[in-house]
Amino acid sequence: MKKNNSIILKSSTMKINKILFALFLTTAIISCGSTEGKKTEVKEVVAKSSELAQQKADINITESSIHWLAKKVTGQHEGNINLVSGSLMMNDGILTGGSFVVDMTSLNTTDLQGNSKQKLEGHLKSNDFFGVATYPQAKLVFTSVESKGSGLYTVTGDFTIKGKTNPATFDLQMSGGSATAKVVIDRSKYDIRYGSKSFFDDLGDKVIYDNFDLDVTLKL
């Protein structure tokens, strides 16, 4: 009889141990799940907080302007070009990113009139230069922004012109509701060859310099 009682006792003890182990395992799983859930919730809160801090400021394209200046051995030409769209990204009043799209079909000259003006604009829009029938838009996307204090930033961005993308670095000044920048573009990097010493020899005084300047004013 004692032997049977011993067997029964051992059996009961094993069952209790199994139950306790199951309870421990279940508690551990629930605890882990709860911890992972809390981690996920924290990540979501941080992400939402970051999104709220990061604000998009649309560029007022009608009040913004881009003035271009191109030089050659015998003189220079200048004009304007319009924006299609654009925005700057701000975080607690600090510039963190941005982009804008330019309407290449709007390219015009301001230093000529009449037939001379029409002829130059037509040439600039042709395949000799910007090929606007095929590439009606150009764009800039900021890839890095470094604050230098007092609203001044060093910006590096990818310019896409005539289907080719290359980086350029320039200074941008933020003041009130506007941003201004002077940008130098090397047209030879975008396969714009006409009158360029980078592609042709013996051009003499017909050389058009590779670099052209953009004076950009963005209104927010």
pLDDT in tens, the chain (220 residues): 444 444 333 444 444 455 545 445 444 444 555 555 544 554 454 444 445 567 999 999 999 999 999 999 999 999 999 999 999 999 999 999 999 999 999 999 999 999 999 999 999 999 999 999 999 999 999 999 999 999 999 999 999 999 999 999 999 999 989 999 999 999 999 999 999 999 999 999 999 999 999 999 999 9
**What's the whole-model pTM score?**
0.76
Residues contacting residue 111 through CB under 8 Å, at least 6 positions apart: 76, 77, 78, 79
Cβ distance 195 to 212 under 8 Å? no
Instruction: For residue 112, give the DSSP letter.
Output: -
State residue 6's pLDDT score.
44
**Alpha-carbon distance 95 to 97, whole Å?**
6
State residue 161's pLDDT score.
98
Q: Which two tokens stand for residue 51?
A: 């999104």
State residue 44's pLDDT score.
52
State residue 195's pLDDT score.
97
User: What is the second-level CATH architecture of the domain 59-219?
Assistant: Beta Barrel (2.40)
Cβ distance 199 to 176 under 8 Å? no
Which residue's structure tokens are 């279940």?
Answer: 26
Ordered by start, the domain boundaries in the chain are 1-53, 59-219
Cβ distance 178 to 217 under 8 Å? yes
